[in-house]
Chains A and B, each alone.
Chain A
Amino acid sequence: MRIALRVALFGFLMAAPCLLLPVPSAEAMHACIDCHKGLKEERLSRPVKKIADDYHMIRGLKCQDCHGGDHTAFDNKEASHSRAKGFLGKPKRQDIPAFCGKCHSDPRYMRKFNPKIRTDQVKEYYTSVHGQKLREGDKHVAVCISCHDVHAIRAIKDQAAWTYPIQVAETCSRCHADAKYMKDYKIPTDQLKNYEKSIHYEVLTKKGDISAPTCPSCHGNHGATPPGVDSVANVCSNCHAAVAELFAKSVHEEAFSDLGQPACVTCHGNHEVLKPSDELLAGGKDTPCATCHEENSSELKKANEIRTLLQDLAKGIDRAEAILTRAEHAGMEVGPPRFELIEAKDALIKARAETHLVKVKRIKTLTTPAVVIAEKTVKKGQELMVQLQFRRKGLAASLLVIAAALIGLFFKIREVDRRGPSG
C-alpha cells in the first residue's frame, strides 16, 4: 500500500510541471484560420475557405509553416504578424518560386514526406520560358500558383488538381488560349482547340488513359518550353519508340534534317495529331507526301503501293470481322477463328509502323501472310454460315417430325377417349 502511494506521488511530481506548460488547444492550432475566416475583406477570408482542400494541410502543415509569424498570439494582430517573428505575409509574384522552393528545393526537408520526391522544380523553372521572362521582370508569366492554385493546392494524383493529366490542358489554356492575355507574346492561341481534335486528347479523355500525352508530356512542366525542330522526334519517341527507331533509319530522317523540317510534326502535325490513316500515304495533293514530292514521282508511286498493301490487308480483316460478327449474332461460336485473326491484326499494326522506314519489301513480308490469314478466316466464317443453314434445315426437318408425331398423338387421344369414355 505504501509503495503504491509512493509511486502515485512520484508520478504526480513528474507530471506537475507539464500542467504549467501552455499547451495549445485544438482551436489554437487553427488560430490563423479562426481569425481570418471572420474577416470581411474577401482577399483575407478567401484563403481560409480554400485551404480545406490543400494537400499541405493534409500532410500536417499549417499556415505559419509558409507564412511565418506567431500563431500562438491569439487576438493579437501585431504580435502574430510580427516580422521579428518571421512573418512573411503574401509573397510578391516574382518571389513565389523561391517562396515555394524554401521547402520544395530542400531535399532534407522534402524526404520527410516522400523520399523519392524531386526537388529541382525551381531550378528547372528558371530554364523555362516562364522562368526566364519572370527574371526579366515580366509579371504576366506563369509561376507556381498559376498551375498549382494557391491555398487549394492538390497533389498531382488528385483528380480535382489543376495539374491532373485530364485537367492540365485546360490549366495551360487559361493563359495560352486567351488572345488578349497573350497579345504581347505573339504566339498562337489555338493550341487547345487543335489539341482537342487530336487522337491524344481522345485517348486521354474518352478512353480515360491518363498516360496519353497532354501539354507537359511534350513541353515539359516546370521547364515548359516548345520542343525545337531537332528535338521533336526525341520527344515523340518517348512513347512511340518503335516508330521512332524505324524513322531514324529511314531516308526521311536525313532529308528532313537537311530541309530543316521537324520530324514527326511535318506529317502528323503538332497539337492536332490526328489518328493516322492509310490515306496519309495516298500521295494526292493534300497529303503530307505531296508537300515535298512531285506528282507522278517514283516516291509517290511507292507511297501508293504501300497504301494499297495496307488497305488490302485492312479490307481483308474487315471482311473477316464482318462475317464472324454475323455468325456470332446468329449464335455460332466464333472464338477460335477470331483468335487466329488477331495475328493478322498484329501484322497490320506492325506494317503500318513499318511505313516510317518506307521499305516496300519489308511491308510485304508482313502483309502477305496476314492477308492469307484474313482470307482463311473469311472462309471459316462462310463455313459457319453454311453450318448455320444446316442447323436451320435440321431444325425444320425435326420440327416436321415432331409436328407429325403431335398430330398422330392428337388423333390417338381422340380415339382412346372415344373408345374408353372416362368413368
Chain B
Amino acid sequence: MSVNRVVDWLEERIDLGAFRHLLQEKVVPVHHHTIWYYFGGMTLFLFVIQVVTGILLTFYYRPSAEEAYESVQFLMTEVQFGWLVRSIHSWSANLMVATMMIHLFSVYLTQAYRKPRELTWVTGMLLFAIVLTFGFSGYLLPWNVLSFFATKVGTNVAGQVPVVGHTLVRFLRGGDEVTGGTLSRFYGLHIAILPLLTTLILGLHLFLVQQQGMSVPPDVERASAQQPIRTMPFAPNFLLRDLFGWFAALGVLAALAAIYPWELGQKADPFASAPAGIRPEWYFVFMFQTLKYIPARVGPFDGEVLGVMGFGLGGLFLFLVPFLDKRAALGEPSPLFRWTGIGIILYIAVFTALGYLAPGPK
C-alpha cells in the first residue's frame, strides 16, 4: 500500500513511463537461444559485486610499493572477513570476464549486432575492453611477485605497438620500469578512470538494450515468419530467472572464495630475477602463447610487432563487425562471419589450453 503511495507521489512529479514499460510491457522472446539472454545480466550482477567489494577493499588498501602488499596482507589476516571480500573480488572479476566472453560470443553468433543494434554492440565491445583493462590494472595492485612480473611482461608487449610503442610503455609504467609509480597510476586507473568510463558506457548500453528490446536470431525469425514469436514478460518471469542465476552465481562465488581463497604470494622484489612459469591472467594467455610461437623475425618484420598488430586488427574486426557484415544487416545468413566467429572462439580456446598444458618455447 505504502509502495503505491510512493509511486503515486513520484508520478505526480516525474514521468515513470519508462519504468512502467519495463515492468509491465517489456517482453523477452522465447526460443531455443533464450539461454544466452541471461549472460548479459549475469555479467552486470558480477560487476555490481565488483563495485561493492572494490569499495570495501579501498578502506584498507594503500597504493604504494612500500605498503600495498602489507596492506593486503593485513586485510587478509587481521580484518574480519577481509579475506572473504578480497577473494570474492578476485574470483568475481574472473567469472565476470568469463560471462562477458560468453555474452560477447553468443551475441556475435546469433548476429544480434546487426542493424539496428550496431551501437549496442560497439558499446558492448568498449565495455569488454574496459573490463580487460580492469583485470590488467587490478592484477598489479597486491604488488606480489607474480603480478609484478606479469605486468612487466604485459607492458613490454605494449612496447611492440609500432611508432607509439615506447611512449605507450612509458605512459603505462610512469617511467621506463615497473615501479611504485606504475602501481599508483594503475590504482588511479582501476578505481577512478575505468569506473567512470564504465558507468557512462554501461548506462548507454543498458539504455539501448531497453530501447530496442532483445534481438531475435535471424534463423529463429525466418523459421517463424508466419507466426509471432513466443515471449515471456520481463517482470516477473524473466527477472525471476535472472535472479535464480544470480543466486547460483553467488553460491559458486562463496564456495570458490572459501575453498580456494585468492592467494597473496610473495612480495614483489624488483631486483630479483623473474620466477619460472610467469603467466598472465587466463584471459590474456592465448595472446601470450601466440607471441611465444611467432618467430623473432618474420621476413623483414619483427615477429612480436606482427603479433601485436594482428591482435589489434582482430580487435578492430570484432569492433566493426556490424558495419562489415552486410548480409546480416539484411537478415540473410552470413556464413563467412559465422565461421570466422567460430574460428576465433576455437583459436582462443586452443591457445589458452596450450598456454597451460604446453608452455612452449620462451
Contact = CB atoms under 8 A, between A and B. Distances in A.
Interface of A: 331-333, 335-336, 391-392, 394-395, 398-399, 402-403, 405-406, 409-410, 412-413, 416-417, 420, 422-423
B27 interface: yes
A403 B251 contact: yes
Given A402-B251, A416-B240, A395 B27 contact: no
Nearest to B230: A422
A379 to B, nearest CB: 15
Interface stretch (B104-112, B171-179, B256-264): B256-264
B244 A391 contact: no
B251 A331 contact: no
A36 to B, nearest CB: 39
Contact of A399 (B236, B241, B251): B251
Interface in B234-282: 236-237, 240-241, 243-244, 247-248, 250-251, 254-255, 258-261, 263-264
A406 B260 contact: no
Interface size class of B (residues with CB under 8 A): 20 to 34
A333 B76 contact: yes
B232 A402 contact: no
B261 A402 contact: no
B73 interface: yes
A332 B84 CA distance: 11
Contact of B247 (A395, A406, A416, A422): A406
B77 interface: yes
A412 B83 CA distance: 34
Given A417-B237, A423-B231, A331 B243 contact: no
B240 A394 contact: no
A299 to B, nearest CB: 45
Nearest to A403: B251
Q: Which of A331, A333, A413 has the most chain B CB atoms inside 10 A of its CB?
A: A333
Contact of A333 (B73, B240, B244): B73
13 contacts: A333-B76, A333-B263, A335-B73, A335-B264, A391-B258, A399-B251, A402-B251, A406-B251, A412-B240, A413-B244, A420-B233, A422-B232, A423-B27
A406 B232 contact: no
Contact of B243 (A333, A395, A403, A409): A409
Contacts of B240: 409, 412-413, 416
B83 to A, nearest CB: 7
B254 A402 contact: yes
A409 B244 contact: yes
B30 interface: yes
A399 B255 contact: yes
Contact of A422 (B30, B250, B255, B259): B30
Contacts of B263: 331, 333
Contacts of A402: 247-248, 250-251, 254
A395 B237 contact: no
